Amino acid sequence: MPIELKMPALSPTMEEGTLAKWLVKEGDAVKAGDLLAEIETDKATMEFEAVDEGTIGTLLVAEGTDGVKVGTVIATILEEGEEAGSAPAAKSAPAPAPEKKAEAAQPAAAPATPAAPPAPAAPAAPAAPAPRAADGDRVKASPLARRLAEAKGIDLASLSGSGPNGRIVKADVDGASGAPARPAAAAAPASAPAAAPAPAAPVTSDIPHEAVKLSNMRKTIARRLTESKQQVPHIYLTVDIRLDALLKLRSELNAALAGRDLKLSVNDLLIKALAVALVRVPECNVSYTGDQLLKYHRADISVAVSIPNGLITPIITGADAKSVSAVAAEMKELAQRAKDGKLQPHEYQGGTASLSNMGMFGIKQFDAVINPPQAMIMAIGAGETRPYVIDGALGIATVMSATGSFDHRAIDGADGARLMKTFKELVENPLGLVA
């Protein structure tokens, strides 16, 4: 029997994707670990690898196809001795929307012979990969996944496979090896979801314009931000923070790092400050799940990075325990890979709180939208020279405004205020960040 290749779930939230590009053609010989296609998810464009050896039989989904449901058969691999004729018929290909075709066909003349009654709609493809299967006690996994798991000390029996018939593939091992030990953080909140908003009415305009198709990432951003503003009661707290001491420390640290290919930014120091503040005020390092509160024992900071298709938030895991130089080096690498679309799901999904800095654009102050299931996000404005009271006298100082957005279901106003106060003290007395 030909091996069916199904649209994989490349992230826990993925329900459908775009088959952006085929990297093979029918008749090509492939082996486990070979790249087959590029798939655009709701967060990034990722590569899909083969999990078995054989010959590409039929490509059932054309490249560029949008909305391919997870679990849909997109291609087949023929094993040794099989011929293309033995491949399953194109029934595995995603069926076009029957409602729209039926509507379009109504004005057409009736066929000469009576039409057969319409077949019932095919059941929706599963939103998650099939459960991992086993032959006796043997776990099904690709050879590449087995080698990676052995090298990283991962028990394959603890993983769920996203490959054909639940087979464990490289992406499953990569996700397990880097996933922080807080599985609930990446899951959706347990509270009952609100009804999906009605689609926007079609817009017609005589004004010259260009219609740009939304990427999966942009659609996801729109949906999640709408849900956040509708379901999460935001409370906003703003403080003005004097930056002079932090700027002086940054200059001294960069002078000490002159021999390395590394330069600390103000943002690197602010990431560290937020992480330390969250550990000192643990009441704000939480997630709300409807019937319980998750209290985290470390601070994983999601940092907003602008990329061509939208916004992504790579995570500095355990930022409270890392040196400022380690935070800077990791942030530099993650930001570059984010812009290249090369982040793995565990590198941008999760996090205990977020930081968004728009100071480089000259924005003085703004209110950021919380990224559930996180319960807070820190919005950083531009540092600017302002009149400022110093030791009881009016002087001049470099000052920035920082605004914390808090989920009021999980964080009381007084606790949010303590976090903002702690963050301000750490930034204004930054030696505590490098001690």
pLDDT tens-digit map of 134-190: 444 567 777 667 777 777 778 877 787 777 667 787 777 777 754 443 444 444 444
**What is the DSSP track for 282-294?**
GGGSEEE-SS-EE
Alpha carbons 316 and 176: distance in angstroms, whole number: 17
213 confidence band (pLDDT: 50, 70, 90): confident
**Average pLDDT rounded to a whole number, residues 30-35:** 84
Alpha carbons 28 and 35: distance in angstroms, whole number: 12
pLDDT tens-digit map of 276-331: 999 999 999 999 998 899 999 999 999 999 888 788 899 999 999 999 999 999 99
Give the pLDDT score at 255. Answer: 93
Q: Is 258 exposed, middle or buried (0-12, 13-18, 19+ CB in 10 A)?
A: exposed
**Average pLDDT rounded to a whole number, residues 195-214:** 72
Can you read off the two tokens belonging to residue 171?
Answer: 């992406």
Give the pLDDT score at 143. Answer: 65
The secondary structure of residue 374, as a DSSP letter, is B
Alpha carbons 401 and 94: distance in angstroms, whole number: 51
Lowest-confidence range among 8-17, 89-98, 134-143, 391-400?
89-98
**Average pLDDT rounded to a whole number, residues 24-42:** 84
Q: Among residues of the chain, what percentage have pLDDT more than 70?
A: 77
**Average pLDDT rounded to a whole number, residues 264-283:** 97
- N-terminal to C-terminal alpha carbon distance within the chain: 63
Alpha carbons 364 and 391: distance in angstroms, whole number: 24
424 confidence band (pLDDT: 50, 70, 90): very high
SS3 199: coil
Can you read off the two tokens belonging to residue 125?
Answer: 């493809």
pLDDT tens-digit map of 50-87: 877 888 888 889 888 888 888 899 988 887 766 655 54
Rounded to two decimals, the pTM is 0.61
Alpha carbons 215 and 309: distance in angstroms, whole number: 7
Catalytic residues: 408
Give the pLDDT score at 123. Answer: 46
Select from 222, 253, 172, 244 the least CA-distant residue to 42. 222
